Chain A
Amino acid sequence: MRKKNIYLLIFILVLFGFALQSIVPFNTKLMGPEGLTLGLDLKGGSQLLYKADLSQKDPSITDNEAMSSVIEKIQRRVNLYGTTEPTIQKQGADRILVQLPGVKDISEAISLIGKTALLDFREQKLDESGDPVLDDKGDWVFEDEPAKAKGRDGQQRELTGEYLKLARTNVDPYKGPVVVIEWDSEGGYLFEQITRQNLQKPLAIFLDDEKISAPIVQSVIMSGTPAQIEGHFTMDGAEALAIQLNSGALDVPLEIIGQENVDPTLGADSIQKSKRAAIIGIILLLLFMLIYYRLPGLIACISLGIYGVFMLAIFSAFPVTLTLSGIAGAILSLGMAVDANVLIFERMKDELRSGRTLGAAVEAGFNRAWSAIRDSNITTFIACAVLIWLGTSATFHASMVSGFAITLFIGVALSMFTAIVITRTFLRLVVASQLITTSSAYGVKR
């Protein structure tokens, strides 16, 4: 019996050593890149929820294909934009959640990600007599359809962003920031035809059905020569357009249906305060346990300390993304861990009062408390399982409910281990060592 406890103690200490080693020093490990993964609500950043209009997809592809293609292109745009660790997830049938940690100017990111970026060229609209059609303001009017030309195989083709090889920004001394596009060989061939058809005539550049500019074609642009898009861009605007063109046009239009932006500096103060408050609360809790339960209370404090280290180690190893609601789950599980200890100690005191020996009281305390701990914890497990299961299929705040449930689940499982293995082993060893045998040390007057 004693031997088994010593083995258990060694086992606990080895585990504890590994856990501690994985999170200490806190600054570099626990809070470092390999440590805790904080949710956007804690470290700041943005999340955007888009809805894809699948009714406008190309009928030859399935909804799923359209969605995965869109997601891939968003991924490329976000990567080209240079954000760190973005996550892009499909939610439900037609929604896409984009999470951008640390992004501050979100309006730029929104327009970058969400634009369809369908590039095409349109010819001037002419009336029956061949004169240009003008609108009310006296501006030229352009065709509704993209300009077409015969491809190398003789088929009529629309020239769109599809034939783009590369888009990059440049600064034109007269026109300011511009986007330079290089066509692939087919695109270059088509562009050559189209410029020839429209020589000395305006040719409009359209992005997402909106006219960017309509320069007059001065000369035929031979295949292989880059083309230039001018449109009174800012440098950022030109860069965004280049990124969009390089990543390809989205297969379906996206509409933003939700966004959340957490200013990292705004929450920091509040988090700092809450952290301090939590530490005050936990110290009060430990003091209470110590004063009320004496020696077992001290053992409980030690095992709760080990519990805390294990919990942090698991959170950083998995990793579990910690959000505010995840922390709520962790606090609840801490409460349950304390409760398990309280249950056991109360039982133990009962047994001591009824005249049992110390060793017998410890054993009886654990055995009697077990059914209550088991049933209440399994009830919690079941609730957590339901919440995790339902939480993952949900919408914007999906991570909220499931984040709560995941940390609670881990915490409660760990609290059972803490109470049943750690506290029990420590108590047995202390009792067996016969160092402290006065019952007042166990909080009972005899």
Chain B
Amino acid sequence: MIDFLGNKRWFFLISAIAVLVAIVSLAALKLQPGIDFSGGTSITINFTPQIEHSESPEFQSQLRQEITEFGHPEAIIQFQKESSNFLIRTKFMSPEEVNELRDKLKTVFQREVEISVPLEMSPTIASETARNAGIAVIIAAVAMLFYIAWAFRRMPKPFRWSTCAIVALIHDILIVVGIFSILGRTANIEVDAMFITGLLTVVGYSINNTVVVFDRIRENLSKGISHDFAVIVNSSLLETLGRSLNTSLTTLCVILALFLFGGTTIHNFVLVLLIGLLAGTYSSLFIAGPLLVVWEKGKWGELLPWLPSFKKPV
């Protein structure tokens, strides 16, 4: 028997710390934007005859010098062992500029040069992409807020229900984004367009989980199983625990398999889902419902027993 509500302080504390860390790391480290969001050009250069691994460091510094001279000192240059290609990321280059670079490298290195541009995005388009995705998510969240309020319209104060669901949602998103800001710094993981898709998926999971729990609270409330709202919420959480864990476990099966055995192109995307699934399961059990109880009872002070000023005389 888990006492969700008796321990809510701890659950909230854990979430508060996690969210706070996420916000701080997001503010301090920021996300590493991929070309999708920052604009720029990514180029792969393939030399024939191929560059041997042993000569790559020397070659790379020479390449850096040439590209700096070409007018792109900001370029990030990486040698890829598997393909013997150089992967280069610069500010936005026009196709003409890319052609000039190819011709220049050909004459300098006296080798055949094959250049391809996997992705290129002008800064205007990039910031538009980021903005549009943000707007879409916010409008979708507001629309869901209204629907949940409507679905729970027979409950007293339905907007509280939907607000709690959205708080749980923001909690999940912040944790995912926060972890990616840390990963951006430590593992050099960039956020790209697929990251946004991943976040949308997390939004879907999170809302789905919370609505299922709320549905049970609604049912138990109208059945009148107790006078104490806290008891109703607690037993609703216990009753849905089986479903919550099973659904999360089944989803985890698929996500873990994709994470462990899937291709590299979807690795970061699956990582978003993995973190989002864990955060979403946690928040639907320990945050959304208990938060509703605290709000319903108006006992916000209970949450902050560590601050002396909030301590109420017994």
Which chain A residues (367-381) contact chain B, with CB distance < 8 Å?
A: 368, 371-372, 375-376, 378-380
Contact mask for chain A residues 10-29; partner B; CB cutoff 8 A; 1 contact, 0 none: 00000000000000000000
Tell me whether chain B's interface is mostly helix, strand or loop, or mixed: helix
Tell whether B116 is near chain A: CB-to-CB under 8 Å.
yes
In the bound complex, how far is the Cα of B262 from the Cα of A391, in angstroms?
28
Please name the 8 residue pairs, one residue from A and one from B, whose CB atoms are nearest each other, closest first.
Answer: A270-B263, A281-B257, A281-B254, A277-B261, A372-B215, A284-B253, A325-B197, A273-B263
Tell whether B288 is near chain A: CB-to-CB under 8 Å.
no
Q: Is the CB of A257 within 8 A of B117?
A: no
Q: Is the CB of A400 within 8 A of B143?
A: no
Contact mask for chain A residues 245-258; partner B; CB cutoff 8 A; 1 contact, 0 none: 00000000001111
Contact mask for chain A residues 367-406; partner B; CB cutoff 8 A; 1 contact, 0 none: 0100110011011101101110011001111001100110
Tell whether B228 is near chain A: CB-to-CB under 8 Å.
no
Tell whether A9 is near chain B: CB-to-CB under 8 Å.
no
Tell whether A335 is near chain B: CB-to-CB under 8 Å.
yes
In the bound complex, how far is the Cα of B122 from the Cα of A259, in angstroms?
9
On whether A335 and B254 interact (CB within 8 A), knowing A258-B122, A273-B262, the answer reads yes
Q: Is the CB of B120 within 8 A of A258?
A: yes
Q: Is the CB of B117 within 8 A of A106?
A: yes
Q: With a CB–CB cut-off of 8 A, which chain A residues contact B207?
A: 376, 379-380, 383
Q: Is the CB of B208 within 8 A of A111?
A: no
Which chain B residues (249-288) contact chain A, with CB distance < 8 Å?
A: 249-251, 253-258, 260-266, 269, 273
Which chain B residues (184-202) contact chain A, with CB distance < 8 Å?
A: 193-194, 196-198, 200-201
Contact mask for chain A residues 211-246; partner B; CB cutoff 8 A; 1 contact, 0 none: 000000000000000000000000000000000000
Q: With a CB–CB cut-off of 8 A, which chain A residues contact B196?
A: 400-401
Q: With a CB–CB cut-off of 8 A, which chain A residues contact B269?
A: 324, 328
Q: With a CB–CB cut-off of 8 A, which chain A residues contact B107?
A: none
Binds A, one of B17-25, B60-68, B92-100, B294-302: B92-100
Tell whether B136 is near chain A: CB-to-CB under 8 Å.
yes
The residue from A256, A267, A335, A405 contacting B205, defined by CB atoms under 8 A apart: A335
Q: Is the CB of A259 within 8 A of B208?
A: no
Contact mask for chain A residues 263-282; partner B; CB cutoff 8 A; 1 contact, 0 none: 10001011111101110111
Q: A278-B254, A328-B269 are in contact. List 16 more A-B contacts (CB 8 A).
A: A107-B95, A258-B120, A281-B254, A282-B254, A284-B254, A288-B249, A288-B250, A328-B201, A335-B247, A335-B250, A335-B254, A338-B247, A376-B212, A379-B151, A383-B204, A396-B125
In the bound complex, how far is the Cα of B273 from the Cα of A277, in angstroms?
15
**B: number of interface residues (CB 8 Å):** 71
User: Chain B's nearest CB lies how many Å from the CB of A144?
Assistant: 22
Tell me whether chain A's interface is mostly helix, strand or loop, or mixed: helix
Q: Is the CB of B151 within 8 A of A396?
A: no
Tell whether A262 is near chain B: CB-to-CB under 8 Å.
yes
User: Chain B's nearest CB lies how many Å from the CB of A275?
Assistant: 9
The residue from A277, A338, A379, A385 contacting B260, defined by CB atoms under 8 A apart: A277
In the bound complex, how far is the Cα of B36 from the Cα of A259, in angstroms?
11
Tell whether B219 is near chain A: CB-to-CB under 8 Å.
yes
